[in-house]
Structure 1
Amino acid sequence: MIPILHEPNTASHPLHIFSEAKQALKNCENYFQDIDHLCIIADRDLHSFIEPQYDELAKNCTDERILLCIANPCFELWLLMHYSDLTEYDQTILLENKKSGDRTQTELYLKDKLGGSYSKIRLQFNQRYKDRISTALVNAKKYATSIQELKGTIGTNGGFLVEELQKD
């Protein structure tokens, strides 16, 4: 594993992560493109990750043979899919994912499914998600999974990464 440490003030914008990953690989003696895999996982976030940037990242990742995993609108959608097929929610509201206080709408839905608590810092993967991975994989396939579809539609292709990891 090659840790990617963000430079000050770059936040977590996917194009910055791509640049940082490329730089980290240049300095890595143990990365072999033919056998190793690099994956960038990013939220679609319509507000700060605009369409031309999305297209640029998708092209860059394809050109560099980097797997791009997108969750639209956010990673919490993938977590929510462990508990729901999303049919109980208004798709427009999910996609807009507006904030209410310090939480996005998707975070609020997830918090409700988890009995009132959700922390980005402490996911409690083994307790809350591990035994529900197969449910999330089934639910994810009901929505957009291609990079082009994910540009403007609810979904995630993160399930493909999970399936790939399960093979090894």
Structure 2
Amino acid sequence: MEIIAGVGVQMVKIGDPRDEVERRLGSPVHPGRGLRAVYESDPMLVVSYGPDDLVELVEVGYSGHHGGDEVFFSGVRLTYRFMDDVVADLAALGHHATPFDIGFAFEPGFAIFSMSSLWALDLDPDAGEDDDRRIVEGVSIAPRAYFDYGPPADATDEQLEEWLPEQGVFPPEPV
């Protein structure tokens, strides 16, 4: 399945109404918690809706050893591969990665992640039990702003002063 960065996938796009998604995919196999729903597809789709029942985030899981389809972007297979290899392949295409706690976000509007439910031996039979290479288990797709996890690591004090109020964080008033 090919992702459309910042937009979604062919079957589900950011801004689609829930009833339209369910006409295409059927009822969710797992309604999820709150505004998230899991749909039966290959690979599996998890869709997050806003309070207005419009799609805000599309997540696509790996198929892996189940034999289903994997997730691609610009010809690069994203899922069920070692994360460092995926990051390197995307960097070779000019896509800069911003790390976050469970993966990497990319400028065009998607992120790859690992929940650490797989281990290196799943992909590499020669890996040792202490091999800590992470495997990409899923891809999140949303507009780029969704993946802004903070100011750039090399932000100046002036840039931080601009960034904090945009996030609703205001410095304390002088005493």
Shorter-chain-normalised TM-score: which range?
Answer: under 0.3
By percentage of residues, which structure has more helix?
Answer: 1
Higher relative contact order (CA 8 A, sep 6+): 1
Q: TM-score, normalised by structure 1?
A: 0.26
By percentage of residues, which structure has more strand?
Answer: 2
Q: TM-score, normalised by structure 2?
A: 0.25
